[in-house]
Structure 1
Amino acid sequence: MLGLVNGIPQKSWSIDHAFHHRNNGNWEIYKGPIDFISLEDYNHLSKREQLFYRLSRNWIMLFPGGFYYLVLKPRLGLLIIILNFSNDLVKEAFIKLKKRKFSELLAIKSRVKPPFSDYGDNFSELFELITNNVIVITGWMFMSKWLGIVFFLLFYSLVSTLSAAILICIFFVQHNYKNAYAKNTKNWDILEGAILGSSNLNIPNLLNWFLADISFHSIHHLSEGIPNYNLIACHNANSHSLKQSKFLKLSDFPNCFKYIIWDNKNERLISIS
């Protein structure tokens, strides 16, 4: 239900979230929230490619990136599936015409085959993607007719962009910061990744309420089954095990966006001068 309200297919999101939890801190497998590259790979890029990499991971990209993630990506995911399926049908029909197998034109062998763009490896995820798009786009049409298309699209775009940018920012700083845990597969440990590879946020109570206590992120990584309303209590009860976990203030956030390269030899996140 919340996936429909937020416009994001929940099943695909939950699979990505589980992958993140299984590999957090292993930068050889999980490349972080905005797909970082290693220092070695960065040095092999051309000057133009390096510039594009830096610009595309600048904090200002939170806003277009947020709009893309929340509004466009689920719609484009379905569009890509439709286009790929149509392309397969045309290719199959062309081959049959070329071989003069006219009687087989209606015997379509092409099927929608997984993986489905960025949204799923099975048909249950595809069904959810289709359902999500139908309901969300129907909601857009209804609200546009009720409030006026210009007002609705402007208001919806603004709210979606800002809310997604804030949430992506929070997710980013909770995993990318100075001295964050950044190991390769050989030296990675899942418990250390949970405690040392995720930061907690020392922010005003009101902001923490809006974030549903996810500010207490290390305990969330230790046990993702803890409901959000119990995160603070569980964090306090296990504070003896979380002494090494990082706490960030709001004033620390800008500094986090400097660390956009993984130094794979020294196993740490570094900034680009």
Structure 2
Amino acid sequence: MPRAEDDKGLATADARYWMGVLSNYRTPNRLRSVTELLITALPLIALWTAAWFAFWLGHAWASLLIAIPAGGFVVRLFMIQHDCGHGTFFPGRRANDWVGRIIGVLTLTPYDWWRRTHAIHHATSGNLDRRGIGDIDTLTVREYQARSTWGRLQYRLYRHPLVMFVLGPAYLFFLRHRLPFGLMRGGWQPWVSTMATNAGIAVIVAALMWLIGIQAFLVVHLPIMMLAAMAGVWLFYVQHQFERTVWEHDERWTLHQAALYGSSHYDLPAWLHWFTANIGIHHVHHLSSRIPYYRLPVVLRDHPELREFGRITLPESLRCVRLVLWDESQRRLVSFRDAGAGRRPR
């Protein structure tokens, strides 16, 4: 697997070369985009209705089973919103923004606020001196060891799988997205976006509760959204939290190098690639975020040499959960145990 530290100059040249190659794949197809939206939204509506009907018939267990594929379609809908945020789903910015805003009500994600924080993520990913917005909090081994006992415990709790992949998604989508934290001084747009999204959510929730009842709404809708939130956080985690990712201090960090070598190619089965809108081809996405998601597989087809950059399979990705600290000497993510993280530096 190609590594950035093998030759930093060569790695940076490679990344810039690929930027030029990938510019040929940027143009969205309006008909294809509309089709992608329809084959995502319509099955989601059908599954939601089927889940409610199963509950109405007294089969709550069937409703919970239906929540699994329905959650997959919510993830796919979020990925369309993600493309809108990059201005890649439709040719025009207005269409991207308004479709993204409407989807944001359904995914519980304020579009304009999220778009700004996600842009910061793309501009700073892998930069040790610019952590904190739009990323997973990651400490170096030395930073962790220098913390107090309470500080180390806090980080361990944050990185615990139950917090990271269950409690964290619930907090993020149900609570944190209700206020534009991180951009409190970013002007009026994040506030308007967030409050408008909250109002839209309130209207839909109130209408559905009035139509089908509070209990039915909670049994049908909450599992779908919770499963989608957990899957979304997992995908975001794996895309940058793998062993041979790249972190650099500001003086050595470059955007293109971090994109190509610091983002994974999550090589999933074809049906999971479909549900996740090819977001697993994340290294290509970070190199050229203006490529519509339905053209990312075409890039790998035309340039198969890109397949091996940051490639991890589904079984391999499960081992990424234990990788929690950046070891600057080994230039890889390590576990608490591998780092001897309970010891303070001398």
TM-score normalised according to structure 2 size: 0.63
Provide the residue aligned with 1:50 in structure 2. 152
1:20 has 2:85 as partner: no
Aligned counterpart for 2:316 among listed residues 247, 252, 259: 252
Q: Secondary structure at the match of 2:251?
A: coil
TM-superposed deviation, 1:153: 2.2
Quick one: which of 168, 175, 189 aligns to 1:72?
175
How far apart are the structure 2 equivalents of 1:163 and 1:243? 27
Distance 1:20 1:244 in 2: 23
- Quote how far apart the aligned CAs of 1:182 are: 1.4
Which one of 96, 99, 108 corresponds to residue 7 of structure 1? 108
> What letter corresponds to residue 236 of structure 2 in structure 1?
F
Contact 1:119–1:129 (8 Å) recurs in 2: no
**8 Å contact kept, 2:125–2:135:** no
Q: Which of structures 1 and 2 has the bigger CA Rg? A: 1
2:253 equivalent to 1:188: yes
| Equivalences, count | 233
Distance 1:257 1:221 in 2: 22
Instruction: Give 1:206's aligned residue.
Output: 271
Structure-2 residue corresponding to 1:59: 161
Alpha-carbon distance in 1 for matches of 2:210, 2:201 = 14
**Match for 1:51: what amino acid?**
L
| Mapped pair 1:30 → 2:30 | no
Per-residue CA deviations over 1:207-239 (Å, capped at 9, x if unaligned) read 110001111111101110100110111233344
Matched, 1:40 2:40: no
Whose helix fraction is larger, Structure 1's or Structure 2's? Answer: 2
Query: Structure 1: 5+ residue runs without aligned partners?
Result: 78-115
* C-alpha distance in 2 between matches for 1:249 and 1:260: 19
Work out the percentage of aligned pairs sharing the same amino acid.
27
Partner residue in 2 for 1:271 = 335
Q: CA deviation at 1:173?
A: 0.8
Structure 2 equivalent of residue 151 of structure 1: 216
**RMSD over aligned Cα atoms:** 1.9
The answer to whether the 8 Å contact 2:244/2:310 transfers is no
Compute the displacement of 1:42 (Å): 1.2
Segments of 5+ residues of structure 2 without an aligned counterpart are 1-101, 338-346
Aligned equivalents of 1:27 and 1:235: distance in 2?
30
After TM superposition, the structure 1 = structure 2 runs for residues 77-226 of structure 1, keeping only pairs within 5 Å, are 77=179, 117-119=181-183, 121-226=186-291
Q: Kindly state the Cα deviation for residue 266 of structure 1 after the two structures are TM-superposed.
A: 5.3
| Residue type of the alignment partner of 1:218 | H
CA distance in 2, matches of 1:256, 1:208: 19
Q: Structure 1 151/243 Cα, relative in aligned 2: closer, same or farther at 3 Å? A: closer
